[in-house]
Structure 1
């Protein structure tokens, strides 16, 4: 008799049902040639006693194996390995082999995207979370959006509309968004100039794939949005970093670089650069337009939080100025409504949008048509503008309140420039207070920190005044202990 207590190890802490563990182990033994065709298996009473499980568990496992044709059951006589299975060469039994196939590594050649992936581990939710500039979902018209969504799933014509043209985005949303962007950002576009994506990151990725490749060059700010850098690096392009100062990306340095080598694209965040929150000056905006025309490079304009300005009217996007179609403009509704609502958009000439749509279909055949049409309804009915007006007022108050807290309680530890808009502060810690010490605190989670610059983003829009004060008090207590 084979040692079934070793052939069938039981892990009662596993999420996999015990009867499934038994069935998987028997299948593994058959595949490995340990259990040969026609081999008689122990009866259910005997095996349950050997494994220390209930007999009904073994019966369920045998029924599962029988249904899959791994074994033959002759009632009241015997249970045997099916004789329709080919004879397999036995393999040496190793008790250290993993129980399940996917506990093995994939040992064939494949591309490594990230060398620094950490092993996931379960941790308690931190007491304090400082995001990098999220909206307050509690203010968002999500209820209205979901109500409209549900209504669209119960009518024949809305069901049909939600399943047509989703690879580029539903025509309803593209028409409403084209009108909205024309009214609010000065973009003279039509629906065919729009691609609806799963967030702005998809737009950046698609643009990078079409513009860049091995041997090409792209200029980015330093510091910059890490996910955008990763998308550009993935193409095989060379990234050239240009300093970001109080006026945004240094266009004089860009011009010097363009004189020395071919630049294919410049990635820029004119409104509230990520992560430092600075705004690109009017002079540098005009200079960047001139350089793009002179040196024939594309501009990838990331306008992730254009809608939030508190002290004055915002500059129009670069894409809102006259140009030759060389600006790829990207934005997102995640910063307006909810980070988990992954609806972004790209604006570009039709021929570029067509190719981005073709590439997008390879990795994602289309978006959520019901959600897109529900969002189109909110835009058409003016609900989005009403929400922005209310949210902008509240976020303005929260920015000013956090500014007061920081000056009163943390001025000896930090320095910063109050942002003119957006949803986050860029906090620079004094050298004697390293940011990595904050990152080591289990009760605190900071979503965007830069250890090299000893700085972090403090998102304020998602917190009310009570939460802001609690967070600042926590930081003060932590820094006092350094």
Structure 2
């Protein structure tokens, strides 16, 4: 048995006197760590409190508090006239335990000691860059969100009503669902009640829950020939077969969908009909009706993702397919509060009540606590008209940015590419009319302080295109970014 004074306590007990954690807890936690990892084996005698205080240069009362903490947590026991010992029946060092002479107390393990499944399907596709200017795929500008005012509303609700909100369950805030269902009825023509709503943290969570319940390994899911990569990752993880369908100026090719349905069983069709991702094309009214008829005829689910419904400019947006669904074939997902600060945004699913009951079971597993306070705040913002005011203000700014972005594109690169000024959303689809290596173009832009993520680049033997967001750029940033972009294009050609 090691003598208590031979163990190099100073070597593995480090005290940070600027830490918010009290000194005695720092010491006791590190001693417990040493016991758990075999540095202080069962039966080790600890120095007396006077000796320990001298070794660690702390007050004796601190050492006393350390031993009291170890005793309270059941790591040591004291015997009169004998001392304090690490609790354990084995009085010898267990086989394989490291001695102080062999190795100091190591850090947390770098690798798991067991095998586990890995998946490259879920590798993070998003990149980061130190560049000052960034083109994204259509993300709102956080600087327009009036976060101070939103924070005041949150704080006021917390003070006034937190005690009245009650306990959260997987059903979420009934208050929020009631007002959100009315809001969706008025703005998107969805004739629903709160019983048709599931509140989630994001669009991705919504799609994940839908795929877990409605898809089985080997099912076939149809997506646009160009589709949202995050959703495709979720589908691939579910083990389904993904088939792509061509997209044209009116959206997805319905005749091709029909032809595929005649050849094989289709479980689901995933759509972003308001503004197809990434091309921003709006699905025509006639094709919407045809798809609803096909879904009823062949029994496939339509998963409608309305990721940017709130952002429309010259005219009223086309209503979702779900608003015209009378046969229960459409599951509708969307986001709420994209014009607000990031912490105030949420996702939701709209579906028939029997399917909603099953979805709540899954939500109860992955997000049982939720954020009932935030949901209550959002419900109040709907009831008081704050959401509509925020959206109206931001839409005016985003429309001005869209118009300016279109002018800059035409002036600087009009001879190299073709694009349509989008009727809504926060991104533009660029179809290149000249041969250009998009990866090389992105590298040239990065050298000049403009970052273009690879997820915005679409290039194969039949297509050279990009999706560029404008919503996050003010006028000065937009002009500087376009200057870098156009110069990099000429350098790449």
User: Structure 1 stretches of 5 or more lacking a match?
Assistant: none
**Where does residue 292 of structure 2 map in the other structure?**
289
**Where does residue 450 of structure 1 map in the other structure?**
457
**Where does residue 118 of structure 2 map in the other structure?**
112
Counterparts of 1:139-218 in structure 2, within 5 Å, are 139-155=144-160, 158-164=161-167, 166-218=169-221
> CA distance change for structure 1 residues 368 and 16 in 2, over 3 Å: closer, same or farther?
closer
* Secondary structure, counterpart of 1:473 in structure 2: helix
Question: How far 1:211 moved relative to its partner?
Answer: 0.8
* Secondary structure, counterpart of 2:344 in structure 1: coil
Question: How far 1:404 moved relative to its partner?
Answer: 0.9
Q: More displaced, 63-72 or 409-418?
A: 63-72
**Where does residue 230 of structure 1 map in the other structure?**
233
Alpha-carbon distance in 1 for matches of 2:112, 2:104: 15
> CA distance change for structure 1 residues 379 and 35 in 2, over 3 Å: closer, same or farther?
closer
Question: How far 1:205 moved relative to its partner?
Answer: 1.5
**Where does residue 435 of structure 1 map in the other structure?**
439
* Secondary structure, counterpart of 1:195 in structure 2: strand
**Cα pair 1:217 1:238 within 8 Å, conserved:** yes
> CA distance change for structure 1 residues 36 and 215 in 2, over 3 Å: closer, same or farther?
closer
Alpha-carbon distance in 2 for matches of 1:342, 1:165: 18
> CA distance change for structure 1 residues 172 and 318 in 2, over 3 Å: closer, same or farther?
same
Alpha-carbon distance in 2 for matches of 1:265, 1:276: 21
Question: How far 1:375 moved relative to its partner?
Answer: 1.5
**Where does residue 269 of structure 1 map in the other structure?**
272
Counterparts of 1:49-64 in structure 2, within 5 Å, are 55-56=57-58, 64=66
Question: How far 1:434 moved relative to its partner?
Answer: 2.3
Counterparts of 1:309-348 in structure 2, within 5 Å, are 309-348=312-351
Alpha-carbon distance in 1 for matches of 2:67, 2:438: 59
Question: How far 1:355 moved relative to its partner?
Answer: 1.1
Alpha-carbon distance in 2 for matches of 1:55, 1:455: 67
**Where does residue 129 of structure 1 map in the other structure?**
134
**Where does residue 86 of structure 2 map in the other structure?**
82
| TM-superposition CA deviations, 1:74-110 (whole Å, max 9, x none) | 99x9987525464442426497898223x33223243
**Cα pair 1:242 1:250 within 8 Å, conserved:** yes
TM-score (norm 1): 0.83
Alpha-carbon distance in 1 for matches of 2:299, 2:129: 51
Alpha-carbon distance in 1 for matches of 2:87, 2:50: 23
* Secondary structure, counterpart of 1:154 in structure 2: helix
Alpha-carbon distance in 1 for matches of 2:364, 2:136: 32
Alpha-carbon distance in 1 for matches of 2:229, 2:140: 20
Counterparts of 1:31-42 in structure 2, within 5 Å, are 31=36, 33=38, 35-39=40-44
| TM-superposition CA deviations, 1:157-186 (whole Å, max 9, x none) | x33553356523322222222222222221
Question: How far 1:348 moved relative to its partner?
Answer: 1.0
TM-score (norm 2): 0.81
**Where does residue 260 of structure 2 map in the other structure?**
257
Q: More displaced, 26-35 or 302-311?
A: 26-35
Alpha-carbon distance in 1 for matches of 2:487, 2:239: 45
Alpha-carbon distance in 2 for matches of 1:61, 1:223: 66
**Where does residue 469 of structure 1 map in the other structure?**
479
**Cα pair 1:22 1:58 within 8 Å, conserved:** no
Give 1:68's match in structure 2, choosing from 48, 67, 70.
70
**Cα pair 2:251 2:281 within 8 Å, conserved:** yes
Question: How far 1:344 moved relative to its partner?
Answer: 1.4
**Cα pair 1:7 1:29 within 8 Å, conserved:** no
Question: How far 1:416 moved relative to its partner?
Answer: 3.0
**Cα pair 1:174 1:191 within 8 Å, conserved:** yes
Question: How far 1:212 moved relative to its partner?
Answer: 0.5
Question: How far 1:57 moved relative to its partner?
Answer: 11
How many residues align? The count is: 472
Give 2:107's match in structure 1, choosing from 87, 100, 108.
100
User: Structure 2 stretches of 5 or more lacking a match?
Assistant: none
**Cα pair 1:43 1:79 within 8 Å, conserved:** yes
Alpha-carbon distance in 1 for matches of 2:472, 2:125: 29
Alpha-carbon distance in 1 for matches of 2:230, 2:357: 24
> CA distance change for structure 1 residues 287 and 145 in 2, over 3 Å: closer, same or farther?
same
> CA distance change for structure 1 residues 249 and 194 in 2, over 3 Å: closer, same or farther?
same
